[in-house]
Amino acid sequence: MTSTTVASPTAAAVGDVLQLTGPRPARPSALSASLSFGWRALLKIKHVPEQLFDVTMFPIMFTLMFTYLFGGALAGSTADYLQFLLPGILVQTVVMITMYTGLTLNKDISAGVFDRFRSLPIWRPAPLVGALFGDVVRYTIASTIVLLLGLVLGFRPAGGVVGVLAAVLLLLLFSFSMSWIWTMIAMVMRSEQSVIGVSMMILFPLTFASNIFVDPATMPGWLQAFVNANPITHLVSAIRGLMAGSVEIGELAMVFGWCAGFMLIFGPLTMRLYNRKS
């Protein structure tokens, strides 16, 4: 019996080295590379489901605590206060979760994973953009939980399904844009604890010194000045308007402006730090 060796049209053996002779595989596009890293982020959640604790338990705790702790004192009844509070608590819940973007990236950087990513022939921002895409799924889960719980408790948005979906999409866009701040912080800070500390120091004044819980008209003048300039205030006002069925063009324009500012300022800064990271 004789054997026949068939030569591969795409490879050639030179000594002990196998050399490719066919066309080079196409380089992945920016979108496909980013989506691949987004899928990587979701797979990490699959293997470590405890990462979903912040997007499941926190929304429930925030909604129940603030509704029943402050509802009677501030609005006379929890039912009335819920109509005012829920759009704001939705914003607070999701915006607070965005800081975990920086925490996750800092872990990968400390482990040396991003050193390997930078050596790949892919679009340079893909690992960062992909991580943010994965986090958008987490934001969507948190938003869904808050809205479902609100409906169970008695929240009834006059804007209907369309208004609620538009409000959630606006919140996801803002959260994606704001997450670039935490990616930059992740590049600068040396430890996970530092990332959490700096993120909380920024987020607490932004979320609590806003119109989430009370009407800013009841605040002192000096505090009103800060609250009125706070991007979270404009976001909450826009989302309340959409859920109530009344689109506030001015508030929407302010939110889109903040989103563009976050990405145009912190996106390039993050990439500069990313490229220089050793």
Say whether pLDDT at 16 is over 60.
Answer: no
Q: State how far Cα 56 lies from the chain centre.
A: 15
Say whether pLDDT at 20 is over 60.
Answer: no
* Local confidence band at 241 (pLDDT 50, 70, 90 cut-offs): very high
Residue 1, in any domain of the structure = no
Give the pLDDT of residue 71: 81
Q: What's the mean pLDDT in 72-81?
A: 81
Percent of the chain at pLDDT > 90 equals 40
* Local confidence band at 110 (pLDDT 50, 70, 90 cut-offs): confident
Residue 205 one-letter amino acid? P
Of 53-62, 96-105, 209-218, minimum mean pLDDT range:
53-62
Residues 6+ apart with CB under 8 A from 57: none
Residue 166, in any domain of the structure = yes
Which domain, by its residues, includes 108?
A: 29-276
The tokens 């991007």 sit on which residue? 231
Residue 221, in any domain of the structure = yes
Give the pLDDT of residue 3: 47
More confident residue, 29 or 235: 235
Residue 227, in any domain of the structure = yes
* Local confidence band at 126 (pLDDT 50, 70, 90 cut-offs): confident
Q: What's the mean pLDDT in 171-191?
A: 90
Number of domains composing the chain:
1
Residue 105, in any domain of the structure = yes
Residue 23, in any domain of the structure = no
Please give the DSSP secondary-structure letter assigned to residue 233: H
User: In whole angstroms, what is the distance from residue 256 CA to residue 196 CA?
Assistant: 26
Percent of the chain at pLDDT > 70 equals 86
Say whether pLDDT at 164 is over 80.
Answer: yes
Give the pLDDT of residue 6: 45
Inter-residue long-range contacts of 86-89, CB under 8 Å, 24+ positions, other chains counted: 86/146, 86/147, 86/150, 86/155, 87/167, 87/236, 87/239, 87/240, 87/243, 88/210, 88/211, 88/212, 88/213, 88/236, 88/240, 89/62, 89/63, 89/146, 89/212
Say whether pLDDT at 230 is over 90.
Answer: yes
Say whether pLDDT at 206 is over 90.
Answer: yes
Of the spans 25-39, 206-220, 253-267, which averages the highest pLDDT?
253-267
More confident residue, 152 or 50: 152
Residue 253, in any domain of the structure = yes
> 28 and 55 in contact (C-beta within 8 Å)?
no
* Local confidence band at 22 (pLDDT 50, 70, 90 cut-offs): low
Helix (H) or strand (E) holding 18: strand 17-20
Give the pLDDT of residue 19: 54
Say whether pLDDT at 196 is over 80.
Answer: yes
Of the spans 20-34, 100-114, 121-135, 217-231, which averages the highest pLDDT?
217-231
* Local confidence band at 47 (pLDDT 50, 70, 90 cut-offs): low
Residue 239, in any domain of the structure = yes
Give the pLDDT of residue 10: 52
